[in-house]
């Protein structure tokens, strides 16, 4: 059914299933496409292509795997007048994303203090299911400021520096976010979780720059060989999950109102221009702002831990990107330029140089793209490209991509064995629970290097540096 159109591209033709309005396109090599064919990813790419008012192609990145409605690793763009917005096209963890901090310390300096540093971070950063933050319950008035201002609220509240904001997607504040469109239940779930890592695949990792592929771009990003960096991966916690849950119900009802028929109820959607669609985008923006503030506060506590253990030396924000979001952006469509709503679900924005949307100090090189690996494997820094703007609405992969269920992963290894195996590789681990560690063992994921090689060779992002972990905190 798939039609190969090059070494790293596979077309899902309109004939794949009835009702497809546009083609699908999957980025993969021969090995990764076999993994993609094992679950419902291809069908989900095709299902998305049946939605009204989409432009371009229904896309899947090489880390794609079956998700709720949309495949995780899926990208789709909607016309603002005729198209739809789908909560499943963003996902439950709104603005799950990653932030990279660059330290002034070398690998050999931190290795001598690794256990005390990791212990300090584990004490300072709350992690695990349902864990409350250090600041406790926010008042609802204060929470509404977080939902409206995002990382700007955190900086104003003493968590970080104004310069941090320049290196966050959308400066850490989504315009049009409206706390009034977030339910009381969602606010209740989130008000004690600000500044927490959470569970699942979320982590904070101490890593070092093990390889540089593009010296000029790495220098622009402030990265150098054997440098210690910290990668933070978390999102909007229970608040974002509840926003998605609430609006899936609203969209189910809205489809009857607007006469929309879909092939999978998980693709519940409403017109972008409808009141329900605008309400969702306003609530989603508020949840995204919560996530930006969350990563900003965790960054503050990482900095404090380094200061206590390593002494003077500031950790700078390289960049912070969202993986689960829908945003109105200008793209080239059918030979002209117009605004469309780009859904990225498990996909990273990858804008090239000379875009006004990226920091001034990266203007001549392009936007940093952060691709986390799984626990115990490497991560990558890439940079956005013009090819991505031409083909993928400026998008690329977001990680390794899950290859096994959490249930299957837990059966493969004990937590004690996993910790021992990782320590033998020079990777020290702290986890909130043993089951959380085994669910996230590295064998549960695809090979992140294969995934990154596909997007690099396909030209939709370019490798800059390889990061290897030495210390891991897991929820």
Question: Are 283 and 181 contacting, i.e. CB atoms less than 8 angstroms apart?
Answer: yes
Residue of 91, 36, 32, 30 whose CA lies nearest to 65: 36
Cβ contacts of 209 within 8 Å, gap of 6 or more: 218, 223, 224, 225, 226, 227, 229, 465, 466, 467
Burial class (CB in 10 A: 0-12, 13-18, 19+), 467: buried
**Known catalytic residue at 398:** yes
Rounded distance, CA 226 to CA 103, Å? Answer: 11
Burial 291-319 (b: 16+ CB within 10 A, else e): bbbbbbbbbbbbbebbeebbeeeebbbbb
Q: Are 271 and 227 in contact (CB under 8 A)?
A: no
Considering the candidates 152, 323, 398, 456, report the single residue annotated as catalytic. Answer: 398
Phi then psi for 314, rounded to 5 degrees? -85, 140
CA distances from 33 to 27, 71, 178, 368, 393 (A): 8, 14, 40, 26, 22
Q: Strand, coil or helix: what is 223? A: coil
Catalytic residues: 398
């Amino acid at each position: 059914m798939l039609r190969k159109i090059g070494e790293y591209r596979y077309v899902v033709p309109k004939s794949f299933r009835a009702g497809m309005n546009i083609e699908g396109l999957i980025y993969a090599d021969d090995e990764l496409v076999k993994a993609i064919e094992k679950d419902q990813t291809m069908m989900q790419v095709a299902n998305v292509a049946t939605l009204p008012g989409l432009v371009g192609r229904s896309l899947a990145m090489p880390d794609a795997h079956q998700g709720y409605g949309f495949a995780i690793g899926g990208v789709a763009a909607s016309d603002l007048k005729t198209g739809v917005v789908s909560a499943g096209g963003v996902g439950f963890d709104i603005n799950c994303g990653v932030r990279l901090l660059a330290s002034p310390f070398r690998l050999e300096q931190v290795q001598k203090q690794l256990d005390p540093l990791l212990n300090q971070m584990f004490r300072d950063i709350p992690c695990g299911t349902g864990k409350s933050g250090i600041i406790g319950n926010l008042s609802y008035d204060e929470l509404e400021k977080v939902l409206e201002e995002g990382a700007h609220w955190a900086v104003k509240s003493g968590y970080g520096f104004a310069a941090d904001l320049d290196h966050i997607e959308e400066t850490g504040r989504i315009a049009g976010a409206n706390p009034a469109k977030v339910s009381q239940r969602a606010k209740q779930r989130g008000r004690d979780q600000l500044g927490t890592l959470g569970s699942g695949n979320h982590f904070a990792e101490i890593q070092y720059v093990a390889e540089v592929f593009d010296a000029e771009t790495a220098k622009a990003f402030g990265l150098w060989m054997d440098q210690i960096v910290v990668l933070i991966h978390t999102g909007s916690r229970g608040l974002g999950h509840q926003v998605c849950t609430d609006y899936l119900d609203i969209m189910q009802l809205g489809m009857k109102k607007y006469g929309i028929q879909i092939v999978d109820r998980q693709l519940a959607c409403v017109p972008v221009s409808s009141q329900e669609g605008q309400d969702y985008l306003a609530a989603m923006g508020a949840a995204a702002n919560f996530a930006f503030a969350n990563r900003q506060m965790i960054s503050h506590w990482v900095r404090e831990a380094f200061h206590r253990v390593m002494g003077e030396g500031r950790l700078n924000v390289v960049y912070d990107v969202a993986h689960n979001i829908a945003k109105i952006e200008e793209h080239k469509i059918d030979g002209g330029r117009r605004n469309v709503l780009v859904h990225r679900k498990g996909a990273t924005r990858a804008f090239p140089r000379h875009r006004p949307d990226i920091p001034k100090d990266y203007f001549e090189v392009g936007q940093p793209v952060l691709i986390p690996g799984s626990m115990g494997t490497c991560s990558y820094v890439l940079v956005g490209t013009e090819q991505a703007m031409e083909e993928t609405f400026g998008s690329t992969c977001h990680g390794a991509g899950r290859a096994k269920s959490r249930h299957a992963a837990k059966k493969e290894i004990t937590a004690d064995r996993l910790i021992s195996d990782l320590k033998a590789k020079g990777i020290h681990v702290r986890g909130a629970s043993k089951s959380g560690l085994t669910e996230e063992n590295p064998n549960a994921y695809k090979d992140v290097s294969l995934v990154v090689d596909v997007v690099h060779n396909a030209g939709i992002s370019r490798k800059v540096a390889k990061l290897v972990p030495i210390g891991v905190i897991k929820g």
